[in-house]
Amino acid sequence: MKLIQKSGLRRKEFEFLNNGELIVKEKRFLKTTEFSVNIEHIGTKKHIESHSRTGLKIVASFFFLIAFSSWIAPFFEEKSEISENILLAISGLFIFGLGVSCFYAPLNNFLTLHGGQVNIQFFLDSPSRQKVEDFADRIIKISKEKIKKKYTRIDPDIPEDVFMQQLHWLLNNDYINEQEYAEKKNDYKISKLTR
């Protein structure tokens, strides 16, 4: 399972290995970071932070207004020199470029997996919001299954209070439901009696 993301000059690459490890590579303009995380240590709660483009559109429209007025201004002046007109046209192009950059500037929209020992942050819109959410959901599902399998294993050598604490923790954190809780509790008691 692999996800490659790009946002501006930043690039993130997430690769899930079969041994339960997530490799994270992040490349920035001047810095490269690479680390691996055990899937059990990743949080299972999603936090989505997204920003609106409305403010950027308002700023861009002001830039466009200034650029167009700098191009139109020489036509309304009676005595205007060519050098002034060229300067106004060049400055208008520069300001127009700023307006265009407002429309294409990447927003800091993130999906963060938190609640574990390590928080993992994804760009929300790269390659698409649906692909990012699907990838995060698969990681959460695999993480929950692995933790559930690890802590619901029936072993009569584990003291009863420790096993019940594990089951309560799994139930409180939505790794198991009430029915699974009751089944595991009964299975543990039966294994203690048959031992």
DSSP string, 112-149: EEESSSB-EEEETTSS-HHHHHHHHHHHHHHHHHHHHH
- Which residue, of 104, 135, 166, is where some domain finishes? 104
Model confidence pTM above 0.85: no
- Which residue, of 104, 135, 170, is where some domain finishes? 104
**pLDDT at 108 (0 to 100):** 81
In this structure, are 8 and 23 located in the same domain? yes
Bridge partners of 71, per DSSP, are: none
Close Cβ partners of 68 (under 8 Å, ≥ 6 residues apart): 92
In this structure, are 130 and 169 located in the same domain? no
In this structure, are 1 and 95 located in the same domain? no
Close Cβ partners of 24 (under 8 Å, ≥ 6 residues apart): 12, 13, 14, 33, 34, 35, 36, 37, 120
**pLDDT at 133 (0 to 100):** 92
Q: How far apart are CA 13 and CA 4, in angstroms?
A: 4
Domain membership of residue 134 as a residue range: 1-50+108-146
* Total domain count, the chain: 3
**pLDDT at 171 (0 to 100):** 86
The stretches in the chain having pLDDT less than 50 are none
**Pick from 3, 24, 38, 16: nearest CA to 146:** 38
